Structure 1
Amino acid sequence: MLGLGYIGRKLFGTPNDRKVKRTRPLVAQINALEPEFEKLSDEGIIAKTRELQKRAQSGEDLDALLPEAFANCREAARRALGLRAFDVQLVGGIFLHQGNISEMKTGEGKTLVATFPAYLNALAGKGVHVVTVNDYLAKRDAEWMGKVYAQLGLTTGVVYPFQGDAEKRAAYAADITYATNNELGFDYLRDNMKASVAEMYQRDHFYAIVDEVDSILIDEARTPLIISGPSQDRSELYMTLDAYIPLLEPEHYTLDEKFRRVTYTEEGNEFLEVKLQESGLLPEGQSLYDPESTTIVHHVTQALAAHKLFHKDQNYVVANDEVILIDEFTGRMMKGRRLSDGLHQAIEAKERVTIQPENVTLASVTFQNYFRLYNKLGGMTGTAVTEAEEFGDIYGLGVVEVPTNRPVARVDEHDRVYRTAKEKYAAVIEAIKFAQTKGQPTLVGTTSIEKSEMLSEMLKAEGIAHNVLNARQHEKEAMIVAEAGRLGAVTIATNMAGRGTDIQLGGNVEMQVLAELAANPEANPDEVRARLEAEHATEKEKVIEAGGLFVLATERHESRRIDNQLRGRSGRQGDPGRSLFFLSLEDDLMRIFGSDRLEGVLSKLGMKEGEAIIHPWVNKSLERAQAKVEGRNFDMRKQLLKFDDVMNDQRKAIFSQRREIMETDEIGEIARDMRLQVIDDVIDDFAPPKSYADQWDVEGMRDAFLEQLNMELPIAKWAEEEGVDQEVLAERVTEAVDAYMEEKAQAFGGDTMRLIEKQVLLQTIDAKWREHLVTLEHLRSVVGFRGYAQRDPLSEYKTEAFQLFETMLDSLRFEVTKRLGQIRPMTEEEQAAALAQQGVTAAEAPADAAPSEEAAAAAEAAPVATAAAGFDETNPATWGDPARNDPCPCGSGEKFKHCHGRLA
């Protein structure tokens, strides 16, 4: 009997079908406009853009402009690239503009789809960001789709690491900017460490289109972006602790692979105590359970995690004397990314490479909170439906499946489950051999570099020619992927997410043309293309006869999306294809998540060696296991976000305060408000409310004002006067300090004083925020233990984080007031000494030479410090080569590592 749900779907369609149906009138409007736009000249297309920009910036709703904008963009793409967008691509673009995720199968042309909503939203003049997963795709898409935007009269920019300041600023100022998620997040953090608005890169966070949205907003969301600076070197500690780990016995620790946790047992702690006391790292009589042992316990735990949870060629590779992390979702090397809390150093000690110093956090943000800054967000991927709940909960994004242009003709076979890995790999080799005899191209998916290289060795032993695509072959990836659809080709891939290059049956003609012209620059491009296109057509026919691309997966990933991404490489644009997963009970997913029952079933069936179980129930059982893992990962990310939301509210408050300080000319008012608050706090401390004058701590108050304001005030005299209460006292102190600061402003000059106040405020905010981040990290690491006392760790964290923030703000006010109280202009003698230090006499100095802002702000007790000769703030080449603890060449008087060395 058919269920009511099935009957309802047949009669009314699914909710997804109804969403797609609602776009049909818009698509019909765009199609109706096509003949009119085809008649426009190239100048006419640009003129249309200018007209639409004027209307958008005059307040006309972008939804009303959509049909004309999409029709103009389609015509521009046809002229610039020879590509006319299909109706389903317009549908995908409409959903992106509406702030949804368009799930479109591989090969459906997502890169072109993004141009439609990007163009429409760029008309508002606030900038559009198109986000990709790697620098190669950002540059490629910006160059490729930039031709369409140029045809439309818009500018395109691309942001990439280690880019020059001027070029990066121009890229962000463009109408449409292509960038990776990492670079956008880091630039946001860098912007909020700048000293002036003019130095900032990013404009409004108006609209972003995220390509491979599941990879960026879900897979990478577990790891926050952190800008850090080096702290002390503790290489010897890591090496000493690392030597103890191989001595541990299995009873010394417990390993939970399911939750990726490793902890010491009581026996392990006793063993370590003896070893640590022998080495002198743990004082005699001190236990690992004592509060004083917190730091050493943290480091020995990280050393254990480095050995038991992180594996070479799976989680990281070792190259050029450094440990480089591998992105578990894309299989790419993540140069420059490091694990925090000493874990990366522990792995470096394990691998005997140079140990880099630990870092302290200067600024951090999660991808969830960065992308929630945007007024509107859209996303594209081939696999998002399985994570629709998370996209809705965290980002408020709907997920819509966009129909394919042609029906999918791929055959997805049931998984084959073998008892052992040895049997599985033997069957894999046989399946590859059989496909190759037919000339069918085979894409073999593995879950780690180690397994891809092991399989590669097995294929070599069998004499089967093949390519390997993993983190080690990152540079060649586009060519390897482009050749994967050729007759009889065998390609082993660690992961296929976000590769950005289609596997076309018979090979990719564009890549072949580029390769041949690179090898033979004298060749005629037209002749080369004609010959290769003819050869490709013949080869494609043979590949189609052989059954299209065969996707052979050697393991199930813990996420269904990653499996679907691999499977989706076959059967693009209606091509034939086939997918098949080979599994064994020794696979990580099967071993960790319920292989016991399956093993029982296989034993009862009396299976012989080399036989596989093939049944739809097995697939369903595995998908349930994967769904459980995905649910657990979602809960982890949700918990991370709840904690980060607390910090995010504080981050927004601090960053907006910084921005206000940078933008305002009334900086003196902000400094004065802080000063008044400090005066009130000091009076409250030493002359509590409702107390009498003879109860006041007059001496304590005088000393406090001397320290905070750098002023000797007659507090005792005032306190003896009739009718002087706390309010009168506050007024007199305020009058005195206002007059004192006014004298300073006149001595420096109004503009210089404003500049000094601005710099002091920004530098103090940055220093206090850095300290606060470290405190919050420590709080986060210990607050979990409150659960044992039946207290909610999140509520505890919120309460204490708020109190810490209040304390930080109080400390900030006191620090700013104190520093501004201490600054003074340099005397003539000090200026002469400063000039002499630079080798310039007073007579040679320019008549209008004013003391540098930093020199003018030097404290009275501090030694005179001036910028080095030829020092240029914007050109690190002029800074010389100071050691980290040397004075900064800018003349601030601070150590280089705390000043310009921090930003270098």
Structure 2
Amino acid sequence: MFSAIAKRVFGSANDRFIKSLRREVAAINALEPELEKLDDAALAARTQQFRERLDKGESLDDLMAEAFATVREAAKRTLGQRHFDVQLIGGMVLHRGQIAEMKTGEGKTLVATLAVYLNALAGKGVHVITVNDYLAKRDAEWMGQIYRFLGLTVGTIVHGLPDPVRREQYACDVTYGTNNEFGFDYLRDNMKYRLEDMVQRDFNFAIVDEVDSILIDESRTPLIISGPAEDSSQHYRAMDQVLPYLTEEHYEKDEKLRAVTLTDAGVEKVEEVLRELGLMESGGLYDIQNVSLLHHVTQALRAHKLFARDTDYIVKDDKVVIIDEFTGRMMEGRRYSEGLHQALEAKEGVTIQQENQTLASITFQNYFRLYPKLAGMTGTAMTEASEFADIYSLEVVEIPTNVAVARVDNDDEVYRSQREKYDAIIEQIEDCRQRGQPVLVGTVSIEKSEFLANLLQQKKIPHHVLNARYHEQEAYIIAQAGAPGAVTIATNMAGRGTDIQLGGNVEMRVAQESGDIVDDTARAKREAEIRAEVEKNREIVLQAGGLFVLGTERHESRRIDNQLRGRSGRQGDPGASKFFLSLEDDLMRIFGSERMDTMLRRLGLKEGEAIVHPWVNKALEKAQQKVEARNYDIRKNLLKYDDVMNDQRKVVFEQRKEMMRAEDVRDTVLSMRAEVLEDMVARFIPAKAYAEQWEVDSLHEEARRVFGLDLPIKDWAQEEGIADQEILDRLRQAIDARMAEKDENFGPEIMRAAEKQILLAVLDKQWKEHLLALDHLRHGIGLRAYGQRDPLNEYKREAFEMFETMLSRVREEVTLLLSHVQIRGPEAPNVPRPQQEMHEGRQDPALAGAEGEAAAGASAGPEAAPAHPAVQPSVNRSPEAAFDPEDPATWGRIGRNAPCPCGSGKKYKHCHGSLA
């Protein structure tokens, strides 16, 4: 009570903060008359003046008022738009590294130009991150007019650009692009073999548009780069034949956790069917030899019972394409990991693509925390303010609207059945059309939007459908959604980037309808006609009450509902919103609709009647808060586990960069060789052990395997008074002599190049195998809780031990390969580029297992990057042995996925390396 009284007297903390910024606004406004007098060249020259002042020691804060005033004047001259005072406040919030919450239609795209220009003056690059390629290209072209006018360079990162072009775009002062592209470029850069091949610069400052969508919703799914693993498409088709035999008693499904598991009866049934089909010869489903079958059955079960066509994915051009649940768009090129995508392909009868294996991954949380300075803007962030503060240390500031919001938000109408709900929706749409009021209908999935479209078609009501199937025309559809009586069905309104203007969008219509007119006079005449028509339509719509937003269902997140509502009431326009719900909706069904149904029966609710009461709204909001809290827990859990990997990732990526920067890595290689040798001697000649306890034969074999040296270690050990240190010294001298001989034979330059190439290749190979091992560890770590141990602490401890083991393997393998390396030809080897085909993907951690822990896994270990033809490691072969394709004894150790040395063309594991 006291806080409410204090808020009324002194204003909220947000109000006081906004008030403090208004002094800066006055300073910016005071500069406007002076800048208006400058010609274009003089205004553009201010950029160089600002940069010179920065070089002399002034800070960006010192320049803020002048820079903002300069951008405002440039916007007036290039775009014909003048920043409102509240937009200047938004720009200050972004510059301070905070989140600006601004209502739809308040001009966030224009607001960003202020902070972008100011921070780009330092010459370190500014990234503006949007939710899709269309917005990235549009904003770069549209707002780019301001930057180019002021002498800054502008780049755009979209899907499919070659690396040289990407490098140029990242070198620009301002770079627009999508969150996925920026994240994948970071991962790809850290798989490169030369610094000059990397495309990104060091991180400086990023502004994230639709920050809640990117940093909250999409952060549940890590970015994954994967390469093809062994083909097992026949297994997925076979497992798909098993599913029809299963009934509801054979599995348990938890819709809240999006998990499905076989019951005991289900396991027995699957085993019975697998034996009948000849797919399982012996043992049970959980026996070690059948672990692969269990994996394929589990994924087939998930594909059939958790994923619905036209809701989670669509089938297009013989492919299963994921639908982003937050934006309703197709995610071309993105695939579910761990064979789930292949299981969906088998379910839908399309071509099964090869299974993938994780090569690199990162969460959005850890990617965006790489930026020293981060800011964001959206229409809906206050509901997640605590999460932004906890995870990203970002404060949310609510920016006041330029004109007060006049929209009327009506209470929800709740019906007992979906049929009654849709009848009421059609009735509401017809009523709006008769009055000339445009309607925006929000649905939660493609399936629901197309169902509603069919109902409208039957009633002969003209309408447009906006979902992933038709996203190419989305900008035009949205732009005309404000025409009198227009009915637009949208799957999701997050990040559409185009405002719904009452009466229609003049610019869109002019571009669409007068683009083909060649004659200037005729074009001008047509443009004038369109403007007059739109103005007349605007008056009709204003009289009808503005845009009516009709929600057909509550989303699991309040922010998504608010985004839909926010499309109406733009810039002080009138408008209204209402949600129509039924007890059969997913949210109502999952969160206690049975009690509500019983209550409504007792109250005597009749067919076709709805319950409308603020209490219902509050109950629904609580249900949404529960889902939001659960999703936050999933994201927080994902982050805790990824933080462990992130610490290791940063070490590995930084080490790779240092190696690439170094002219040679000889000191690193020498250090590794010394450690390997010391560990080897300590293992077989333990400290303070008697000579008869020494494992001399094993030491001899190990020295031969790793260093390729056949030394008389047994004779040394029999010498009177010899100690382990002397044996170590003799081994070191022999190894040093052998490596010096290689230097002399092949030349120091070639050996330095070989050392660098092998070191990078081995580090990459071991890091990929380490990622796979961590994924497997994360899958099962939740079971430790049954032993009263904290899974996270166990994961941290074991992950650290595994990292130490990985580094040890790197040292040994680098030493072994350099000891056996043979250089063919006089030329120096080039540092290799990975030839492996790579895929980008996202995985929902809620699908990783019943514990809801994040995982992005694979099924087979990766091979090292292909070596340069001049550098061919010859592993575990004595120096005297000559390679003979017909004599396996001369082949040494072969990677199981490598081509068989016999020349058959098969993989080694399918030929001479077969275990059968």
Q: Which amino acid aligns with 2:594?
A: D
CA distance in 1, matches of 2:54, 2:19: 27
Matches within 5 A, 1:193-592: 193-284=191-282, 286-522=283-519, 524=521, 525-592=523-590
Alignment: residue pair count: 851
CA distance in 2, matches of 1:435, 1:565: 21
CA distance in 2, matches of 1:359, 1:719: 50
CA distance in 1, matches of 2:730, 2:449: 78
CA distance in 2, matches of 1:175, 1:887: 51
User: Tell me, what secondary structure is at the counterpart of 1:806?
Assistant: helix
Q: Which moved more, 1:136-145 or 1:247-256?
A: 247-256
**Mapped contact 2:28–2:66 kept (Cα < 8 A):** yes
CA distance in 2, matches of 1:86, 1:261: 49
Question: What are the Cα deviations for residues 73-97 of structure 1, in whole angstroms up to 9, with x where unaligned?
Answer: 1111111111110111111111111
Q: Which moved more, 1:515-524 or 1:396-405?
A: 515-524
CA distance in 1, matches of 2:36, 2:716: 86
Residues 723/29 of structure 1: CA separation in 2 closer, same or farther (3 Å cut): farther
User: Tell me, what secondary structure is at the counterpart of 1:324?
Assistant: strand
CA distance in 2, matches of 1:547, 1:228: 52
Question: What are the Cα deviations for residues 479-498 of structure 1, in whole angstroms up to 9, with x where unaligned?
Answer: 11111011111100011000
Question: What are the Cα deviations for residues 365-408 of structure 1, in whole angstroms up to 9, with x where unaligned?
Answer: 11111111110110111011111111111111111110001000
Question: Any gaps of 5 or more consecutive residues in structure 1?
Answer: 832-851, 866-883, 898-904
Q: Which amino acid aligns with 1:854?
A: H
Q: Which moved more, 1:594-603 or 1:458-467?
A: 594-603
CA distance in 2, matches of 1:59, 1:695: 69
| Aligned-residue identity in percent | 58
User: Tell me, what secondary structure is at the counterpart of 1:227?
Assistant: strand
Q: Which amino acid aligns with 2:869?
A: A
Highest relative contact order (Cα 8 Å, sep 6+), 1 or 2? 2
Are 1:680 and 2:678 an aligned pair?
Answer: yes
2:95 match:
97
Residues 341/827 of structure 1: CA separation in 2 closer, same or farther (3 Å cut): closer
CA distance in 2, matches of 1:191, 1:863: 37
Are 1:652 and 2:666 an aligned pair?
Answer: no
2:760 match:
762
CA distance in 2, matches of 1:502, 1:728: 80
2:43 match:
45
**Mapped contact 2:155–2:174 kept (Cα < 8 A):** yes
Q: CA deviation at 1:601?
A: 2.8
Question: What are the Cα deviations for residues 683-733 of structure 1, in whole angstroms up to 9, with x where unaligned?
Answer: 111111122444322232222122212233343444445664333333333
Are 1:641 and 2:639 an aligned pair?
Answer: yes
Q: Which amino acid aligns with 1:418?
A: Y
CA distance in 2, matches of 1:434, 1:222: 41
| Residue 174 of structure 1, aligned match among 172, 175, 188 | 172
User: Tell me, what secondary structure is at the counterpart of 1:114?
Assistant: helix
Question: What are the Cα deviations for residues 249-302 of structure 1, in whole angstroms up to 9, with x where unaligned?
Answer: 221111111221111111111111111222233333x12243443332222121
User: Tell me, what secondary structure is at the counterpart of 2:231?
Assistant: coil
TM-score for both structures, normalised by structure 1: 0.91
CA distance in 2, matches of 1:60, 1:751: 47
CA distance in 1, matches of 2:226, 2:908: 16
Q: Which amino acid aligns with 2:339?
A: G
Residues 113/691 of structure 1: CA separation in 2 closer, same or farther (3 Å cut): same
CA distance in 1, matches of 2:817, 2:333: 36
Q: CA deviation at 1:589?
A: 0.5
CA distance in 1, matches of 2:229, 2:91: 47
CA distance in 2, matches of 1:523, 1:151: 27
Q: CA deviation at 1:853?
A: 8.5
**Mapped contact 1:755–1:853 kept (Cα < 8 A):** no
Matches within 5 A, 1:659-808: 659-721=657-719, 724-808=722-806
Q: Which amino acid aligns with 1:726?
A: D
Are 1:855 and 2:869 an aligned pair?
Answer: yes
CA distance in 1, matches of 2:240, 2:357: 22
CA distance in 1, matches of 2:57, 2:791: 47
CA distance in 2, matches of 1:714, 1:207: 62
**Mapped contact 2:303–2:347 kept (Cα < 8 A):** yes
CA distance in 2, matches of 1:80, 1:33: 19
**Mapped contact 2:825–2:870 kept (Cα < 8 A):** no
CA distance in 1, matches of 2:58, 2:719: 68
Matches within 5 A, 1:579-618: 579-618=577-616
CA distance in 1, matches of 2:899, 2:690: 52
User: Tell me, what secondary structure is at the counterpart of 2:514?
Assistant: helix
Q: CA deviation at 1:66?
A: 1.2
Residues 344/826 of structure 1: CA separation in 2 closer, same or farther (3 Å cut): closer
**Mapped contact 1:548–1:570 kept (Cα < 8 A):** yes
1:845 match:
none
1:837 match:
none
User: Tell me, what secondary structure is at the counterpart of 2:515?
Assistant: helix
Question: What is the root-mean-square deviation of aligned Cα atoms in Å?
Answer: 2.3
Question: What are the Cα deviations for residues 744-793 of structure 1, in whole angstroms up to 9, with x where unaligned?
Answer: 23333333222211111111111111111111111111111112222211
Q: Which amino acid aligns with 1:233?
A: D
CA distance in 2, matches of 1:443, 1:562: 14
**Mapped contact 2:664–2:756 kept (Cα < 8 A):** no
Q: CA deviation at 1:191?
A: 0.2
User: Tell me, what secondary structure is at the counterpart of 2:143?
Assistant: helix
User: Tell me, what secondary structure is at the counterpart of 1:182?
Assistant: helix
CA distance in 1, matches of 2:517, 2:906: 58
Q: CA deviation at 1:16?
A: 1.2
**Mapped contact 1:756–1:853 kept (Cα < 8 A):** no
Q: CA deviation at 1:854?
A: 2.3
Question: Any gaps of 5 or more consecutive residues in structure 2?
Answer: 830-865, 886-896, 910-916
Question: What are the Cα deviations for residues 232-253 of structure 1, in whole angstroms up to 9, with x where unaligned?
Answer: 2212211121122122122111
Matches within 5 A, 1:21-100: 21-100=19-98
User: Tell me, what secondary structure is at the counterpart of 1:447?
Assistant: coil
CA distance in 2, matches of 1:144, 1:330: 23
2:847 match:
none
Residues 896/450 of structure 1: CA separation in 2 closer, same or farther (3 Å cut): farther
CA distance in 1, matches of 2:46, 2:83: 19
User: Tell me, what secondary structure is at the counterpart of 1:274?
Assistant: helix
